[in-house]
């Protein structure tokens, strides 16, 4: 007789249900939750950006107006009669380059040839009082212009320019423009470089090389100022 197989359920006293892992309370405190922003924050950022844009636009519009309202220069305060020429090609808009009546214009500068004589220091003071300075010659073209103007002037022979020496042979422009020996226009044999001749004049001669160092005594003068643009 075949043996019967008997099945039985066996329970172990030490058995326990599946272990449940519990998270310590202190770890729960450190759990991160997505940060929530107030709903009005995007609107605030938009308003701030709009205000910045408006401020930039106002600044761009006001800046040109403020420049045009600057105080007049000393040259403008000193003179009431002016001679102007168009500073732009015809049909390209308005714009005038102006010099006081009686002054000569070249490029963007105005020049005054005096009809009286003063020592060099007083000559510079006189130019300064008119909102200008003794002429500083920077280019060959400017030297040519000044020379041609002197040829047409029957008043004086020697005219002070803004070049002098505090130490013999060390020539300096009064506006601190670097002195360039290769761009100087001395007469043949000049400068003498002696302590008795520390100032410089332009001699009214057709030759473009017409500078001469002289004693700082009484001579005519050439004043220069930036032309006024309106």
Match 């007083």 to its residue by tokens.
122
Q: CATH no. for residue 167?
A: 3.10.100.10
Number of domains comprising the chain: 1
Structural domain including 165 reads 112-222
- Report the candidate in 13, 37, 130 with the shortest Cα–Cα distance to residue 80: 130
Q: What is the pLDDT of residue 202?
A: 96
Digitized pLDDT (tens) for each residue of the chain, 230 residues in all: 444 444 344 444 544 454 444 555 555 555 555 556 677 777 888 888 888 878 777 765 544 433 434 567 778 888 989 999 887 665 565 588 999 999 999 999 999 999 999 999 999 999 999 999 999 999 999 999 999 999 887 788 999 999 999 999 999 999 999 999 888 999 999 999 999 999 999 999 889 999 999 999 999 999 999 999 88
Tokens at residue 60, please? 């761009």
Question: 192: buried, middle or exposed (CB in 10 Å: 19+, 13-18, 0-12)?
Answer: middle
Q: What is the Cα 28 distance to its own chain's centre? A: 65
Give yes or no for a contact between 131 and 76, defined as CB atoms under 8 angstroms apart: yes
Rg of the chain over all Cα atoms, to the nearest angstrom: 43
Q: Please check whether residue 144 lies inside any domain of the structure.
A: yes
Q: Please check whether residue 159 lies inside any domain of the structure.
A: yes
Residue 165 CA: distances (Å) to CA of 107, 160, 192, 196, 214:
28, 13, 12, 11, 11
């Amino acid at each position: 007789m075949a043996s019967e197989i008997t099945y039985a359920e066996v329970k172990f006293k030490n058995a326990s249900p599946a272990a449940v892992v519990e998270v310590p309370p202190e770890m729960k405190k450190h759990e991160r939750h997505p940060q929530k922003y107030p709903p009005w924050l995007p609107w605030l950022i938009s308003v701030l950006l709009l205000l910045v844009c408006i401020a930039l636009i106002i600044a761009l519009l006001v800046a040109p107006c403020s420049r045009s309202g600057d105080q007049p220069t000393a040259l403008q305060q000193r003179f009431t009669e002016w001679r102007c020429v168009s500073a732009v090609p015809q049909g390209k808009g308005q714009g005038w380059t102006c010099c006081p009546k009686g002054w000569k214009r070249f490029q963007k500068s105005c020049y005054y040839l005096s009809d009286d004589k003063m020592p060099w220091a007083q000559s510079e003071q006189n130019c300064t009082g008119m909102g200008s300075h003794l002429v500083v010659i920077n280019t060959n073209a400017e030297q040519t212009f000044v020379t041609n103007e002197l040829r047409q002037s029957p008043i004086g022979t020697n005219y002070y320019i803004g070049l002098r020496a505090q130490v013999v042979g060390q020539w300096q422009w009064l506006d601190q423009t670097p002195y360039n020996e290769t761009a100087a226009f001395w007469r043949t044999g000049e400068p003498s470089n002696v302590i008795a001749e520390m100032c410089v004049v332009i001699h009214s001669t057709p030759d473009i090389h017409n500078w001469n160092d002289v004693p700082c005594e009484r001579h005519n003068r050439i004043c220069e100022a930036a032309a006024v643009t309106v």
